[in-house]
Amino acid sequence: MYIPLHILYWICVALAFFVIFSGVAAGVNRVVTGSKRKRDEVLRARCRELLLMLGCQSGESRGRVLTEIERMLDPVTAEYIAVSLPRLEVPERSDVTELFQKKGLVRYFVHQLKSQRKWRRARAAKVLGELNLPVASAALYRTLNDPDPDIRGVAARGLSKLRHPRAQAALIEILGKQEEIISSRIAAMFIDVGAASVPLLVKNMRNTNWRARFWTAEILGQVADKRAEGILVSALGDSSADVRAAAAKALGKMGTRAAGLQVIPLLKDPEWFVRSHAAWALGQLRIFEATEELVHALYDKAWWVRKTSLEALANIGDPAIPALLGTLQGGDRFAKESAAEVLQRLGMEVSTVSSEQGEGTR
């Protein structure tokens, strides 16, 4: 195909201009971006400095610092200041929070939760979560229905920082019903709250959603409050295998011997991970009454059940020795090696044990 020379000339000129323009645009963008980043760093540093000064000043000096914070406070610096609020003492935190309300920034960020722009909704949820105000709790609760999972995650994280009963009630309501990352953040909040959250968690163990019951059992295991023992024992018979496993693990962390005895039947559960968690719990509680069942679990078809049963027998210690001696004469290689390993841990010579066992059977 023939292209006239003058056409080729203008094509080359256009390409050259395009390359030059692209390079200039990229350079300008780097300069602008770098300038903005530097300006943001200066603002962040100044905000941190003022907040540090606020905690060290009193009287008129403190008033001047608050005036300077108020002067700087806008939708941009609000985020920098909000994330530093948890480091302040209660009086200083209260004063700064009042400045947010005085300048209308609380209403502003509540309104931003309805923005079409994802980044604005995310920033608003982040700031409101740091302010720890009742009005923020209501706004963030509504944001849990945001169509974007990232925004729901930020809202859940924000709510988890609020210690208001309404926030906790809102979070327990969605526990296990959103993405895993959201449930994990909610779980971390309840674990941090500790014993004060137990009544609400115990009530939630009757939730009709099995994922909610599963997450609740996981939290109760971490909180380790004896008031939850009864409901966790009941959960050992839950229709969901995940809940049964979580309840067994939780009891292993905080249960009594009486509760531990209720875990023994789970060693025959149809699901291997339930049997494994049950073996682990029995070992943690040193339930020697489960020795025979744990030795039998060394023959389980699931390797992980065998491993956890081995560790459980080692934790039980001397009461498990007679049953382990009998296992040495069995036909399953893994079971024999596991029994030998546990016996060695307990200070017995396997060769001596084997010969003694053999002499005893003649």
Angstrom CA distances, 190 to 125, 196, 249, stand at 20, 9, 18
Decide which of 174, 208, 234 is a domain's last residue. Answer: 174
Q: How far apart are CA 73 and CA 62, in angstroms?
A: 16
- Which tokens is 129 given? 């979560």
**Domain extent at residue 306:** 288-362
* Residue 318 and residue 346 in contact, taking contact as beta carbons nearer than 8 Å: yes
241 in any annotated domain: no
Q: How far apart are CA 360 and CA 202, in angstroms?
A: 52
137 in any annotated domain: yes
Number of domains in the chain: 2
The DSSP string of 264-276 is GGGGG-SSHHHHH
Per-residue model confidence as pLDDT tens for the chain (362 residues): 566 776 777 777 788 877 777 777 776 666 655 565 677 677 778 887 887 787 777 778 888 888 888 888 888 888 888 888 877 787 888 888 888 888 899 999 999 988 888 888 888 888 888 887 777 777 888 888 888 888 888 888 777 776 667 778 878 888 888 778 888 888 888 898 888 889 999 999 999 999 999 999 999 999 999 999 999 999 999 999 999 999 999 999 987 889 999 999 999 999 999 999 999 999 999 999 999 999 899 889 998 998 899 899 888 988 888 888 888 877 678 888 888 888 888 877 765 344 444 444 33
CATH label of the domain that carries residue 169: 1.25.10.10
Numbers of helices and strands, H then E, in the chain: 21, 0
197 in any annotated domain: no
Rounded to 5°, angle at Cα 88 from 142 and 98: 55
Decide which of 174, 201, 227 is a domain's last residue. Answer: 174
Residue in 310, 354, 316 with CA at minimum distance from that of residue 334: 310
Angstrom CA distances, 253 to 183, 228, 271, 281, 292, stand at 21, 12, 21, 7, 22
328 in any annotated domain: yes
Decide which of 144, 174, 204 is a domain's last residue. Answer: 174
